[in-house]
Structure 1
Amino acid sequence: MSGNLSGLYDHNSAPDLEDRQFELLPPGDYDGDIVKAELRETRSGNMIALDIKLDNNRHVFDNLNIVCRTSAKAEEIARGSLKRIGQINNRIIQDTQDLVLCRVRVQVGVQPPQGNYEARNVVKFYKDPNGATASAPVRPAARPATASAARTAPAASAAPQANGARSWMRSQPAQQAAAPIDDEIPF
């Protein structure tokens, strides 16, 4: 959205702000949600820029180099991190929007100053905020073949849908049970 700021903002009367220095977060584990995921081109391929809002209202940023022609190791780490985020959230990541609102625990470290850049916080690893150390393989859920199979299937499957939908959001089978439903409510 864009709009004219005439009458709302005057450059000459706006106050000058001093450069603000943010204190670095101490190294450790922090819980938060991915609030922004953006695919960007780089000189050596493509990266996903992540903005993670931590529960303490601070933000940390991570760049996942999913295509990196100059470093196979960087690409391997990024793709593994992307898969890990999906496993933690029971999603198969197929679009950057699939990452938004994913819950994560990030291991934050501090990168020392380099050249003209000051020290900064970096995401070192993604963990499950529920404390699980290993995730089950993530596979698209199979739909029951018949209504009778649907009645005998478990109520909620742990397998994700390809689009990240939760089990309670799945559409119901088209066939209905043969037994009549007693939907009268006694008063």
Structure 2
Amino acid sequence: MSGNLAGLYDHNSAPDIEDRDFELLPPGQYDGDIVKAELRDTKSGNMISLDIKLDNGRHVFDNLNIVCRSSTKAEEIARGNLKRIGQINGKIIQDTDDIVLCRVRVKVEVEPAKGNYGPRNVVEFYSDPNGTKVSSPDRPAQRTASAAAPRPAASAAPQQNSGSRSWMRNRQPAAAQAETLDDEIPY
């Protein structure tokens, strides 16, 4: 949607805003939802650009090089991460729309400065925020004994969880979920 801003905005009277440097997230694991997934062309193929909104309100970004003619290793990692996101959320990913609102736990690291670019946060790994073990597609995921037990609080910083977001996903209580995971349901 486009619209004329006459009477709503005047460039000359708008305040000047100072540039801000955003603090990097400390390395750690963070829960969040993928809020944007966009397929983009690259010099060597195609990537899916992800915007992950963490429960603490911050965003991290990741690029999955699903077709990468210059690096089969990058392509393998990206395809594995895409499959893992689908498994965590009980989906077979066939479209970028299938990724939006997927719930994930991401391991975030800090990549050092390179050339003209400063340090930045990078996503190193995806896992299930519910602690459910991700298994092969021919068997349902099963909750391990250690995942079913309450986890001790680590440090006060990285693990970020916030209030109810039930409008974004249908999650069963842990007891009900454990019961359904033991069912022999063919996929």
TM-score (norm 1): 0.73
Report the Cα distance in structure 1 between the residues aligned to 2:113 and 2:75, rounded to whole angstroms.
24
Report the Cα distance in structure 2 between the residues aligned to 1:60 and 1:91, rounded to whole angstroms.
22
Report the Cα distance in structure 1 between the residues aligned to 2:186 and 2:87, rounded to whole angstroms.
10
Report the Cα distance in structure 1 between the residues aligned to 2:91 and 2:186, rounded to whole angstroms.
8
Match of 2:77 in 1: 77
Q: What is the correspondence of 1:98-117 to structure 2 with a 5 Å cutoff?
A: 98-117=98-117
Distance 1:138 1:82, change over 3 A: farther
Larger Rg: 1
Report the Cα distance in structure 2 between the residues aligned to 1:116 and 1:33, rounded to whole angstroms.
30
Equivalent residue letter for 2:31:
D
Corresponding pairs, count: 145
Q: What is the correspondence of 1:72-151 to structure 2 with a 5 Å cutoff?
A: 72-137=72-137
| Conserved 8 A contact 1:87-1:138 | no
Report the Cα distance in structure 1 between the residues aligned to 2:20 and 2:133, rounded to whole angstroms.
38
Q: What is the correspondence of 1:58-69 to structure 2 with a 5 Å cutoff?
A: 58-69=58-69
Tell me the SS of whatever aligns to 2:108: strand
Q: Where does structure 2 lack aligned partners over 5 or more consecutive residues? A: 140-179
Report the Cα distance in structure 1 between the residues aligned to 2:54 and 2:25, rounded to whole angstroms.
11
| Conserved 8 A contact 2:49-2:62 | yes
Report the Cα distance in structure 2 between the residues aligned to 1:97 and 1:158, rounded to whole angstroms.
26
Q: Where does structure 1 lack aligned partners over 5 or more consecutive residues? A: 140-153, 161-187
2:9 maps to 1:9: yes
Instruction: Please state how far the C-alpha of 1:6 moved relative to its aligned partner.
Output: 1.1
Distance 1:80 1:112, change over 3 A: same
CA deviations 1:14-64 (Å, max 9, x no partner) are 111111111100000000000000000000100000000000000000000
Equivalent residue letter for 2:125:
F
Distance 1:15 1:138, change over 3 A: farther
| Conserved 8 A contact 2:84-2:134 | no
| Conserved 8 A contact 1:90-1:158 | no
Distance 1:157 1:35, change over 3 A: farther
Structure having greater relative contact order (Cα 8 Å, sep ≥ 6): 2
RMSD in angstroms over aligned alpha carbons? 1.9
| Conserved 8 A contact 1:86-1:93 | yes
Instruction: Please state how far the C-alpha of 1:159 moved relative to its aligned partner.
Output: 6.9
Instruction: Please state how far the C-alpha of 1:5 moved relative to its aligned partner.
Output: 1.0
TM-score (norm 2): 0.73
| Conserved 8 A contact 2:110-2:121 | yes
Match of 1:185 in 2: none
Instruction: Please state how far the C-alpha of 1:2 moved relative to its aligned partner.
Output: 1.4
Identity %: 76
Report the Cα distance in structure 1 between the residues aligned to 2:138 and 2:70, rounded to whole angstroms.
30
